[in-house]
Chains A and B, each alone.
Chain A
């Protein structure tokens, strides 16, 4: 199961208001797709020069992305509060 979105909550001392963002990964993926397509030939070129098989590495990164589902990071400080939840 791939993660669908990241929910970010930020509250700082000045505004006292909690800002919430929900970032859908499909949208982030769509926006980053052109960058990825541009970088792909470069990755393969560097891999060929360094004699490294890029596929296991890409697969490992994909596995890391998939495994992110359920990750929660919360920091609650008197000055600010930050929460990131991947679901």
Chain B
């Protein structure tokens, strides 16, 4: 694994890849389970059970046309999402109907009354694997869990 990291860092130093690409490659190398080839002394611990990510990160890098670069870095605890969806589940029935109507008007076929707290919990749990990369000419957006 160290060899792979060194190669990535060398590629970054020579300018073959960008810092973002290097970060992605290193995280991919770190995530990769040991294939038995890179443990010369066999002292590395066995890959344990996958740890649950604690945060959702949103990183926005806007180059800005002539106005200068803007960077936004947001880290939201997963627990906050869980608490938020629990609060959403407490919306009274009368309000739910209004929300449903508004959603239908905008073409979103979602019935809030069908959403149960346990479903929302499952939904948040599934965010573990979420990665969104938007790579535009001027703006880069990354959403991932860590």
Contacts from A to B (Cβ < 8 Å): 50, 52, 56-57, 60-61, 63-64, 66-79
Contacts and interface: CB of A to CB of B under 8 A. Distances in A.
A67 B80 contact: yes
Contact of A56 (B55, B67, B90): B90
Contacts of A74: 71-74
B87 A70 contact: no
B75 A72 contact: yes
Contact of A76 (B55, B70, B77, B92): B70
B90 A57 contact: yes
Contacts, number: 61
A61 B67 contact: no
A67 B54 CA distance: 11
Contact of A72 (B74, B82, B83): B74
B82 A67 contact: yes
Q: Is the interface of B mostly helix, strand, loop or mixed?
A: mixed
**Chain B contact residues (Cβ within 8 angstroms of A): what range?**
20 to 34
B77 A75 contact: no
Q: Is the interface of A mostly helix, strand, loop or mixed?
A: mixed
B91 to A, nearest CB: 10
Contacts of A69: 77
Contact of B71 (A56, A57, A60, A76): A76
B70 A78 contact: yes
Nearest to A84: B74
The 8 closest A-B pairs by CB, nearest first: A78-B68, A67-B79, A72-B75, A67-B80, A63-B83, A74-B73, A60-B87, A76-B71
Nearest to A64: B83
Nearest to A53: B90
A80 to B, nearest CB: 10
Nearest to B64: A78
Interface in B26-46: none
